[in-house]
Amino acid sequence: MMDMHCHVDLYPDHARILNDIQQSDYYVLSVTTVPSAFEGTEALTRDMSKCKTALGLHPQLAHLRKNELALFDQLVPRTRYIGEIGLDGSKGYKEYFNDQIEVFTHILKTCEVYDDKILTIHSLNATAEVLDKLKAYPKAGIPVLHWFLGTKKQVVEAVEFGCFFSIGPAMLTSARARKVISWLPQDRILLETDGPFAKVNGELIFPSNVDSVIDYLTSEWGVNKNQVVKLLLSNLNCLVSLKGK
């Protein structure tokens, strides 16, 4: 199975998260929040063939770390995976929205030079703006909207544009998030944890905990667990086989 959005480097106990990845044998996308963290994060999982490291600059840090865009440009040829990137319109970050737009735009323009990037994207309280930016730079890569909480109309818009969606255990604790999950096409769904930031009952979650999402989808879709696993792996294979638009 998979965890397509996990902040491996930010877990307080690296041994525990690395052991979970090894024991589960899941495909894991290890995302970063600043370019300067990329090489150290990559080194953590270098010997794990199913764990890939993404190069990111988190929107909540855009105003503090936009000086790292030059480093981003240097590192971008080293990975197919870009993230965590995006926009955040939440209280406390909205005032830095121009910095976020500058950073997100730069990253999308940079990625347009390539034809194979996969983008894991943050869109909290900024869904419309994120979708507008993706449409402005359609060759940047294949978007995976992480922890997506848009409207039904925005789901349709994102699907038409070719987006995938990653959902995790913490989303299942929210009625709003469960409603959004019900709108997502089954063939565009991937799994994530967003650990260590996302928690369930106050507890850290790990890649192996995505099994709770599989159980939830099995019940919601009215099929057996093997069918759900097969479909999700098919979605992952589809994502990594796509290039360009």
Give pLDDT tens digits for 27-76: 999 999 999 999 999 999 999 999 999 999 999 999 999 999 999 999 99
Reported pTM = 0.97
Number of domains in the chain: 1
CATH at 33: 3.20.20.140
List the one residue out of 116, 109, 56 whose CA is nearest residue 82: 56
pLDDT, one tens digit per residue, over 81-139 is: 999 999 999 999 999 999 999 999 999 999 999 989 999 999 999 999 999 999 999 99
Residue 216 has pLDDT above 80, yes or no: yes
What is the per-residue pLDDT for 140? 97
Distance CA 220, CA 45 (A): 34
Distance CA 27, CA 24 (A): 9
Burial class (CB in 10 A: 0-12, 13-18, 19+), 123: buried
List the one residue out of 105, 100, 145, 104 whose CA is nearest residue 127: 145
More confident residue, 245 or 131: 131
For residues 85 and 107, the answer to whether their CB atoms sit within 8 Å is yes
Domain of residue 55 covers 2-241
- Maximum Cα–Cα distance for the chain, whole Å? 49
List the one residue out of 107, 108, 116, 120 whose CA is nearest residue 70: 107
pLDDT, one tens digit per residue, over 158-208 is: 999 999 999 999 999 999 999 999 999 999 999 999 999 999 999 999 999
What is the per-residue pLDDT for 82? 98
Looking at the chain, the whole-number percentage of residues with pLDDT higher than 70 is 99
